[in-house]
């Protein structure tokens, strides 16, 4: 069978094989492995997998690449430590199981770093499920709730604690250097907490060095996951910005039950995104501050 250049097509029989691929076209929709949910299959239609390929690449090379995670051992360790911290917020640090797990983590900590395997990454992610089950078991013991109700309570309690932890940690500028075709580029991601003119915040309600993660679906004061991303290059003794853009999460606090608060929250988030857009372009910002009409399209 002839296969078009840069692409490889195959029909897979199992769901596990389907999930193993990085990019898929499933019934006309592109999704990422492990994110979202595949739409229902149309009758008598088999999923067709299309993978973007490099010239000369082989399936063996592709599958070998899939064995490596995009995260390091230290990333995995930090993830597990954060999950234990979240669980301790719900159960307390003195819980014997959590204390034992924390001690085991300290003993297992490694100084040398390396890329983690997919199996190590999967095991770390499974810890969250295990911790929620532990909270559910403790809830059953203490409050005598039915198993399903206890698990529902545990999942909500863990999520709320994780949102609080993510929001309250320091949100700081991330800076990386990229190299492409012999040229060096600087990528900088500036969080809303550090969008300032001098020492003054650009938002009416200051972030206080913190942020609002995308999981926070009830926050009515700030935009979710609001960042300014830039790519620049150093030429002729000065930095030249090649790209500048604003990114953010959903603008509706859709889990806020009060419709008036939900509407006010959506407006607050949208205003912050517009303020960030003006902040990213000094010329437009100066014109707007002078009372002029500007377009942020």
pLDDT tens for the 297 residues of the chain, in order: 332 322 233 333 333 433 433 333 333 333 333 334 434 444 444 444 434 445 555 545 544 555 566 788 888 888 999 999 999 999 998 999 999 988 888 877 777 888 888 888 888 889 999 999 999 999 999 999 999 999 999 999 999 999 999 999 999 999 999 898 888 999 999 999 999 999 999 999 999 999 999 999 999 999 999 999 999 998 888 999 999 999 999 999 999 999 999 999 999 999 999 999 999 998 888 888 888 888 877
User: Please, are residues 51 and 79 in contact by the beta-carbon 8 Å criterion?
Assistant: no
Answer yes or no: do 277 and 203 share one domain: yes
Q: What is the pLDDT of residue 14?
A: 32
CATH of the domain at 93: 1.20.58.450
50 is a domain residue? yes
pTM: 0.70
Which pLDDT does position 208 carry in this prediction? 95
Residues 119, 120, 126: CA angle, nearest 5 degrees: 90
Q: Do 190 and 148 reside in the same domain of the chain?
A: no
**Rounded to whole angstroms, how far apart are CA atoms 129 and 158?**
10
Residue 222 CA, distance from chain mean position: 17
Q: Could you tell me if 42 and 22 are in contact, meaning their C-beta atoms sit under 8 angstroms apart?
A: no
What's the confidence (pLDDT) of residue 48?
40
Give the pLDDT confidence score for residue 264 in this predicted structure.
Answer: 97
Same domain, 46 and 114: no
Task: Using the 3D structure, point to which of 168, 191, 223 is the last residue of a domain.
Answer: 168
Q: Are residues 186 and 162 in the same domain?
A: no
Host domain of residue 48: 7-66
Of 66, 101, 117, the position where a domain reaches its end is 66
The pLDDT, as a whole number, for residue 282 is 86
User: Is the separation of the CB atoms in 112 and 69 below 8 Å?
Assistant: no
Provide the pLDDT for residue 287.
86
Domain boundary among 140, 168, 196: 168
Same domain? 282 vs 214? yes
Q: Is residue 1 part of a domain?
A: no
Tell me the three-class secondary structure of the chain, residue by residue.
Answer: CCCCCCEEEEECCCHHHHHCCCEEEECCEEEECCCCCCCCCCCCCCCEEEEECCCCCCHHHHHHHHCEEEEEHHHHHHHHHHHHHHHHHHHCCCCHHHHHHHHHHHHHCCCCCCEEEHHHHHHHHHHHHHHHHHHHHHHHHHHCCCHHHHHHHHHHHHHHHHHHHHHHCCCCCEEEEEEECCEEEEEEEEEHHHCEECCEECCCCCCCCCCCCCCCCCCCCCCCCCEEEEEEEEECCEEEEEEEEEECCCCCCCCCCCHHHHHHHHHHHHHHHHHHHHHHCHHHHHHHHCCCCCCCC
Structural domains of the chain, count: 3
Is 2 among the domain residues? no
pLDDT at 66: 52
Bridge-based pairing of strands 196-197 and 200-201 is antiparallel
Looking at the fold, whether 107 and 193 belong to one and the same domain comes out as no
Does some domain include residue 77? yes
pLDDT of residue 124: 85
- Would residue 130 count as lying in a domain? yes
Distance CA(194)–CA(9), nearest Å, equals 46
């Amino acid at each position: 069978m002839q296969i078009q250049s840069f692409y490889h097509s195959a029909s897979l029989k199992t769901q596990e094989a389907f999930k193993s691929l990085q990019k898929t076209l499933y019934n006309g929709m592109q999704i990422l492995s492990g994110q979202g949910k595949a739409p229902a299959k149309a009758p008598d239609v088999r999923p067709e997998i299309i993978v973007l390929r490099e010239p000369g690449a082989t399936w063996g090379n592709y599958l070998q690449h899939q064995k490596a995670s995009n995260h390091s051992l230290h990333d995995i360790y930090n993830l597990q430590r954060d999950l234990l911290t979240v669980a301790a917020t719900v159960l307390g640090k003195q819980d014997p199981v959590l204390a034992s797990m924390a001690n085991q983590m300290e003993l297992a900590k490694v100084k040398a770093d390396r890329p983690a395997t997919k199996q190590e990454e999967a095991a770390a992610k499974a810890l969250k499920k295990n911790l929620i089950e532990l909270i559910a078991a403790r809830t059953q013991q203490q409050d005598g709730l039915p198993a399903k109700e206890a698990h529902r309570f545990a999942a909500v309690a863990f999520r709320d604690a994780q949102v609080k932890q993510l929001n309250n940690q320091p949100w700081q500028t991330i800076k990386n250097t990229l190299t492409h075709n012999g040229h060096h580029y600087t990528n900088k991601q500036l969080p809303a907490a550090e969008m300032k003119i001098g020492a003054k915040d650009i938002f009416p309600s200051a972030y206080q060095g913190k942020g609002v993660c995308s999981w926070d679906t009830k926050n009515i004061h700030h935009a979710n996951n609001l960042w300014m991303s830039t790519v620049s290059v150093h030429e002729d003794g000065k930095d030249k910005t090649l790209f500048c853009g604003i990114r953010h999460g959903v603008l509706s606090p859709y889990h806020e039950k009060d419709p008036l608060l939900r509407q006010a929250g959506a407006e607050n988030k949208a205003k912050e995104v517009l303020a960030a857009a003006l902040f990213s372009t000094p010329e437009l910002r100066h014109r707007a501050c002078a009372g002029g009409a500007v377009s942020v399209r």
